[in-house]
Amino acid sequence: MIRIGILGDIGSGKSFVANEFGYPVFNADKEVGQLYKKNKIIYNKLKKALPKYIHLFPIDKKEISYAILNNKNNLKKIIKIVHLEIRNKLNAFLKKNKNKKIVILDIPLLLENKINQKKDILIFIQSNKVDVYKRLKKRDNFNIKLYNLFKSIQFSLSYKKKKSKFIIKNNFMKKTIKKEIQNILKKII
């Protein structure tokens, strides 16, 4: 199985590109969303770790955001609880797809949390900063302080770019992205 890791800035279109490959995608952000909605154990752990902030099940992302904005150490507590379960979900995904030729890993902290393997093929998604910022501002829950906090726990974009075997320039046009993906797949299959 070939594992392709998608790297890039927040809002650069990593998930958009990952889904265009046509292979199974592990989307960590979606998985976290599912944990917040459906996993009572995660809720209880977060409520215990952050009793001043977590009150509702399913977990309200606004409560999570408020906890992080009030104290950046809360982000570390959340990551410690949530990432263990995300790793379990990733392992289940890999086991389920072990006979697939390729799997796509859309995991924002892939390198930072040492989830990648040496033989993984890393692809950096490069987008125009102005376009990215415009897209982020359109999101319902966009908060510049939260954005900057998440950026502070990530490796630099130049480091991620350097670690990547391929770069896809994302102009958010399906046709262009498909063409770039086909060129990459020809080289790796």
Q: For the chain, how many structural domains are there in total?
A: 2
**Are both 56 and 2 inside the same structural domain?**
no
DSSP 170: -
**Are both 80 and 144 inside the same structural domain?**
no
User: Could you tell me the residue range of the domain that residue 164 belongs to?
Assistant: 1-24+98-189
Q: Considering 96, 112, 136, which residue would you say is the last residue of a domain?
A: 96
**Are both 87 and 106 inside the same structural domain?**
no
**Are both 149 and 185 inside the same structural domain?**
yes
For residue 117, the model assigns a pLDDT of 92
For residue 156, the model assigns a pLDDT of 94
**Are both 108 and 177 inside the same structural domain?**
yes
For residue 189, the model assigns a pLDDT of 86
Give the model confidence (pLDDT) of 127-184 as tens digits.
988 888 888 888 877 888 888 888 888 999 999 999 999 999 998 889 999 999 999 9
Is residue 185 pLDDT above 80, yes or no? yes
**Are both 45 and 72 inside the same structural domain?**
yes
Give the model confidence (pLDDT) of 52-110 as tens digits.
999 999 999 889 999 999 998 999 999 999 999 999 999 999 999 999 999 999 999 89
**Are both 121 and 137 inside the same structural domain?**
yes
How far lies 171's CA from each of 65, 72, 129, 155, 174, in Å?
A: 29, 33, 11, 23, 9
- Residue 25's pLDDT band, with cuts at 50, 70 and 90, is very high
For the packed helices 73-96 and 40-49, what is the interaxial angle rounded to 10 degrees? 160
Write the CATH number for 120: 3.40.50.300
pTM: 0.92
| Rounded-to-integer distance, Cα 13 and Cα 11, Å | 5
**Are both 118 and 44 inside the same structural domain?**
no
The backbone torsions φ and ψ at residue 126, rounded to the nearest 5 degrees and listed phi first, read -105, 125
For residue 45, the model assigns a pLDDT of 97
- Which positions ≥6 away from 183 have C-beta within 8 Å? none
**Are both 80 and 128 inside the same structural domain?**
no
- Residue 111's pLDDT band, with cuts at 50, 70 and 90, is very high
The whole-number average pLDDT for the span 104-131 is: 92
For residue 182, the model assigns a pLDDT of 97
